[in-house]
Amino acid sequence: MAKELADVRKLLAESKRELLGRSNVVAVGVGYKTTAGKATKELALVCSVDIKKPKAKLAASDLVPASIQGVPTDVNPVGVIRALQDPTGRFRPAPGGVSIGHVNITAGTLGCLVKKNDKLYILSNNHVLANSNNASPGDPILQPGPYDGGQLAQDQIATLSEFVPIQFAGVGGADPCGLASGVAGFLNGLAAMVGSKTRLYSRRDIEADNLVDCAIAEPVNPADVVNEILGIGTISGVAEATLNMAVKKSGRTTGFTTGTIQQIDVTVQVNYGSNQIATFVDQLMAGAMSQGGDSGSAVLNDQNQLIGLLYAGSDTSTIFNRIQNVFSALQVTLP
């Protein structure tokens, strides 16, 4: 008998740690089972891997069972996930979807504008605006980002206000900025955070969990930013993401792209360089709709409602935070 979504989500919460402990599994979430390359209407526990290996090459303890408590599983090869980065120009006023970055990173994407205590702020990722925890409030933010030719003397658009620290389970220094691109191990490489190479790795020592990769910066001059997203327009509100929801984004590298939410409740391990691995829970996964440099992009539905903040991806997958978690962590709202 088919399980209800609430039952499958509960089962995922109970089994995700054990599944992530298996070799080659880099993310797990709830999605629709795929048969012969096509999505069915049957809910499944989806295990993402970097490469789908023959069963004969896996230890018995690393095999993903065909089902768990009556719920089918699905193994989804996602390839290598890379941090996003690519050049873009100078915009004044600057909309969402364009190049931006901390003075010491390469470049990421300006997500959108938000409000806190009646002040206007720029929203993007921690690894884009706060150099993966290696920044201080008041640091200069450039548009375009340094990788795209941004210079401190003439291109500072904002100053870093605050960020949610990323809790790392691995060892080593944080990679100076990289768009956490993906889902790895499965994405054995959530490649470089805009300047570093952020990669996803399969690990068994999952420690501190993260909900968001986010930060805000205060514009030096509010007239230098505009409350719209390049190629999309004005955000109409906020909404919850659901399976099979059509989504879109505008980013500095790939511009306007669309996709579909394939998994919810995703737990994923992302490598931020130098073996620094961060585990994220309650994430959303879509198909291929981003490349390096798109980190920080706002993700919207067909009604232009904001549903997520993009921060990682691979050749076949895109990962983003639920916008509700981002707004709660930063205590911000739409303008």
Strands 71-77 and 38-49: parallel
Residues 25 and 201: beta-carbon distance below 8 Å: no
Q: Please provide the CATH number assigned to the domain covering 94-330.
A: 2.40.10.10
Q: Enter the tokens of residue 71.
A: 């719920």
What pLDDT, on a 0 to 100 scale, did the predictor assign at position 205? 42
What pLDDT, on a 0 to 100 scale, did the predictor assign at position 148? 94
Longest dimension (CA), the chain: 64
What pLDDT, on a 0 to 100 scale, did the predictor assign at position 194? 40
What pLDDT, on a 0 to 100 scale, did the predictor assign at position 235? 96
| d(C-alpha 132, C-alpha 266), whole Å | 22
3-state secondary structure of 159: strand
Q: In the chain, which residues fall in CATH 2.40.10.10?
A: 94-330
Q: Could you tell me the mean pLDDT of each successive run of 10 residues in the chain, 335 residues long?
A: 83 93 88 86 90 83 92 80 56 95 96 98 98 96 96 98 90 39 40 39 55 98 96 94 96 94 94 82 96 95 96 91 98 98
* Domain 5-77 indexed as CATH 3.90.930: no
What pLDDT, on a 0 to 100 scale, did the predictor assign at position 65? 92
Burial 36-63, CB ≥16 within 10 A → b, else e = eeebeeebbbbbbbbeeeeeeeeeeeee
Distances (CA, A) of 134 to 139, 190, 276: 10, 19, 13
Residues 42 and 157: beta-carbon distance below 8 Å: no
Residues 181 and 234: beta-carbon distance below 8 Å: no
Q: Enter the tokens of residue 111.
A: 């997500």
What pLDDT, on a 0 to 100 scale, did the predictor assign at position 199? 39
What pLDDT, on a 0 to 100 scale, did the predictor assign at position 170? 52
Residues 265 and 284: beta-carbon distance below 8 Å: no
| Burial tier of 21 (Cβ tally within 10 Å: 0-12, 13-18, 19+) | middle
Q: In the chain, which residues fall in CATH 3.30.300?
A: 5-77
Strands 119-124 and 215-219: antiparallel
Using CA atoms of 207, 213, 218, 223 in order, give the dihedral in degrees to the nearest 10: 180
| d(C-alpha 276, C-alpha 106), whole Å | 19
